[in-house]
Structure formats: structure tokens, C-alpha cells
Amino acid sequence: MPRTSTRLTFAVLATGAGVFSMFQSLIAPALPTVQHALHTSQSTATWVMTAYLLSASVFTPILGRVGDLVGKKRTLVAVLLTVAAGCLLAALAPTIGVLIVARVVQGVGGALFPLSFGIIRDEFDASRVTGSISALSAVIAAGGGVGMVAAGPVVTALDYRWLFWIPVAVVLAATLIAVPYVPESPDRAEGRISWLGAVLLSAWLVALLLPLSQAGVWGWGSARVVGLLGAAVVLFGAWLLSEARSATPLIDLRVLRLPVVLTTNAAALLFGAGMYAIWSFLPGFVQTPASAGYGFGASVTASGLLMLPMLIAMFVSGLLSARLEPVLGAKTLLTTGTALGAVACGTLTLWHAERWQIALAAGVFGLGIGLAFASMAHLIVGSVPPSRTGAATGMNANIRTIGGSIGAAVTGVLVTGRLQPSGLPEESGYTHGFALLTLLCLAAALAALLVPTGRAGGTRVTGTPRASGGATAAAGPVAGGAPSTPATSATADAG
């Protein structure tokens, strides 16, 4: 097909990334059903989420780098097939152990984010890069909302296994389209995979995220939690040293130190903490029986419908960001998006006695998510060489996940710290949790304000390998405050 025909290419990228994003929240409302159906304990059932989180965190930056080296299309097709296999295994899983393994396989799909952004930068005309990144970011942002809204009706009308059967068909269809219609990028990074860097990256991510996700079960002062967190610090230091000394690092630390990338990742860490915590705890709040003195006793389906304003707002604001970014700049959109998250969490802190208040706060947070997701992608893609797009956007997605793990873990401590005789959390636990998320989103907005503007915000990464397709991989990046950043950068790189 002609390389300028990109509609089907975008459809494949949006389908894959949207399905993976949906998996982040799709299974959470159905965990009690899964626990009962597979005759397991609640603590064991939580590994369905934990295994997926750990797998995605490990594979996202590694496969993003693999795509930069061996070809993004080739890696994309392999990842889509792996996700389909993981969904099939989950749909057929006879035991909780098999389901957990299937979720590990599904986590490989985290690489769809960096691969998709890289393909857009490589293959789309410069004038379409900004709009396509915004549209894909809107799909990714809305995917989490779709998971929350769709889980209840699917489980009620069919069975929890259909949460996996449906994606099998969707992902296989996307794969069949990807093979003939997604072109292979001519831009390749030179070098090889730094396997020591990959092992150390995987090790410190697991050592960090595992205790954060299981601290509620193991106890924050337990030897396992303290020991793993200590190991994470040591392994992180070893990884930094390994990457700094490697001739072909998995993650180029010079790229991560670029002012635009550094400040954008800081905002991603803080905003991710607020976003994932809201996704995790707001449905539980509205499902709490009114006898607890708060909550609405909503069913899984009804609680999902209360999240519908968030889903709609995420998608709309993500699409609007394509029109707003050339006028206002990605920095302004990121600051606005994170500030809207703070407004939403502040609203929940003060007012959560009526359903409309929950729906309003969810909608405002959704506006913030849509703007923040799109602007982060613009800032990262527009600030790194094409040969490092996959690794850099993969780390940005990973940092959001790490922030989400921290936010969910700390919020969980606050929510479950004081329980009523019935075993339900005290209302003050949720109030304190929402207040904490307000502060985290405010901190994210302050980090966004530090994102440099104009060309001064970018620093040339010297010594970066030249792409094999003839594009200069070390083209000077442009900071996200300048209008049409990705398009400008892509044009410069193509020249």
C-alpha cells in the first residue's frame, strides 16, 4: 500500500493500544466474581492485577527499545499476537494460577504504547503527527474508562470470561490488518539490546512495584516489604551505573536527562499516582452500602455508569488537544490537565454525598486525563531523536504506572487504616485519600509548570546513532511549549 495511506495504520494502533489500556481497569470490578468462580482467596485474586502490572512495567520499555532496533512493525505484530494468546489463555483458564500466568502474558501489550507513538512519528506526514498523537492519546485515556464502564454489563449479561473472549477477536482482527497495512519504519537505531540493562531494569521494577502492590496484605513494616524496597534502591543504582557505562544502553540516560523529558516524567509520576488511585477507589466508594454512613450501595454496573462522564470527557478532551496544542502549547495543556485533576480530587474531598457530585468530579478528572495524556506524548515525542522514541515513550508510560502503584498503595493505607465494626472503611479514610490525591495532582501541575518552553528547553543528544533510513537521529529536539512540536521535530528529523 502507499506509505501515505495511514487510516488503517491508525486504526490498528488505536485498537491495540485501546485494548491494552482497557485491561488496566477491566478486570478490577470483576475480581470478586473471579475469586468466587475459581475458588480462591481475596489475597490470591489480587495477583490477577499485580501480575499484569509487573509484566507491563518490565516489558514496556524493553520492547519499546526492541522496536527501535529491529523494526516497530515487526515488534508490533509480535506483541499483538502475544496479547491475543494471553487473552485466549485467560478465557480458558481453569485455575487462578493459569489466569495469573495469562495476565503476565497480556502485560507484554504495554509495548503497544511506545511502538504506536513511534510508528506515527516515522510514518505519518508531519502535518498529521500532532492530530494523530492526540487522537491515539484520547483512545488510550478512554480505554481505562471503557474498562470500568463495560465490566459490569459484560459480567452480568455473559460471564467474566467474556472480558477476555471479546478482546481475542478484536486483537486478532487488528493483527490481520497490521500485517499488510502497517508499513515497516525505515528509521532504526543502531547497536544491540543491553541484556544486563534489561535484567537490572526488570529487577528493580519488580522489587519496587511488588511490595507497593502487596503492602496491604504483607504489612508495610514486614521484612518482605522493607527488604524488597531496599533491594529496589540498590538495583536501581546498579542499573543507572550499567546504563551509563554501556555503549548501547537500553534507556539512554542522556535522553531522560533532557529538561523537557525530565520534567514531563516528573509530572507523569505524580499525576499517575492520582489517576490510578481514582480508578481503583472511586468505584469502591460508590459501591459501599449507605448503611456505612456514606456511599450509595451501587452495583458494579451502576458504579460503572457513574464513571461514564469520565470516559466521555477523557475522549473528548484528548481529541480537542490536537486543536489546542498548536495554539496553547503542550506545556499549557499538561498544566491544565493536572490542575483539573486536582480540582476533581478537591471536589471529592469536600463534596461526595450525592451521586451528581461524584459524576461531576469524574467528568472533570476525565477532562484532565485527556489533556494530560496527549500533552505528555507530544512533549516526549517532540523532544527525543526518532531512534529513541520507543524507549523514551515506554519509560514515560512506565513512570505513570510506577506513580499509579505508589498512589494506589498509599491511598489504600489511608482508606483501610480505620474500619467500622462491619469491616467497611470509615468515611474519613476516603476523605483523607481524596485530599492526598489533590496534593499529588497539584504537585504534578507544579512539575508541569517547570517544563521548559521554546528551543531552549531541548538539549542536543550528541553521539546518538544515526537511523539507518537516513534520518538524523540526533536532530535537535524542540520543547513542548512551542506550537506543533512533534510536527516540527518530525520535519527536522526527516530533513
**Predicted confidence (pLDDT) per residue in 351-407, tens digit:** 999 999 999 999 999 999 989 988 998 898 888 887 777 778 778 888 888 888 788
**Residue 348 has which C-alpha cell?**
471529592
Sign of CA dihedral 55, 61, 67, 69: negative
Helix axes 308-328, 126-157, angle to 10 degrees: 180
Give the pLDDT confidence of 440-490 residue by residue, as tens digits: 999 999 999 999 985 434 444 444 443 333 333 333 333 333 333 333 333
φ and ψ at residue 425, rounded to 5 degrees: -65, 150
Average pLDDT over residues 229-247: 92
Q: In DSSP terms, which residues pair with 425 in a beta bridge?
A: 419
Q: Which numeric CATH code is attached to 7-193+248-494?
A: 1.20.1250.20
Average pLDDT over residues 242-266: 87
3-state SS class at 419: strand
pLDDT at 143: 80
Average pLDDT over residues 74-81: 93
Query: Per-residue pLDDT for 207 more than 80?
Result: yes
**Residue 483 has which C-alpha cell?**
506550537
**DSSP letters spanning 196-259:** HHHHHHHHHHHHHHHHHHHHHHH-TTSHHHHHHHHHHHHHHHHHHHHHHH-SS-SS-HHHHTSH
Give the pLDDT confidence of 68-77 residue by residue, as tens digits: 888 888 999 9
Query: What is the separation of C-alpha 104 from the centre of its chain, rounded to a whole number of angstroms?
Result: 16
Average pLDDT over residues 413-432: 87
pLDDT at 402: 83
pLDDT at 64: 83
Which is higher by pLDDT, 190 or 316?
316
Which is higher by pLDDT, 195 or 94?
94
| Residue ranges covered by each domain of the chain | 7-193+248-494, 194-247
Q: Tell me the residue length of the chain.
A: 495
Sign of CA dihedral 312, 394, 232, 267: negative
Element (H, E) at 268: helix 259-287
- CA–CA separation, 100 vs 51, rounded Å? 6
State the pLDDT confidence band at 193, using cuts at 50, 70 and 90. Answer: confident
pLDDT at 229: 93
Which is higher by pLDDT, 340 or 257?
340
CB atoms within 10 A of CB 456: 10
Query: Per-residue pLDDT for 155 more than 50?
Result: yes
Q: Is 454 left (phi over 0), alpha (psi -120 to 50) or beta?
A: left
Which is higher by pLDDT, 222 or 149?
222
Which is higher by pLDDT, 319 or 235?
235
**DSSP letters spanning 116-154:** HHHHHHHHS-HHHHHHHHHHHHHHHHHHHHHHHHHHHHH
Query: Per-residue pLDDT for 270 more than 80?
Result: yes
Q: What is the DSSP secondary structure assignment for residue 452, as one 8-state letter? A: -
Query: Per-residue pLDDT for 315 more than 80?
Result: yes
From the number of C-beta atoms within 10 Å of its C-beta (0-12, 13-18, 19+), residue 356 rates as: exposed
Q: What single letter denotes the amino acid at residue 493?
A: D
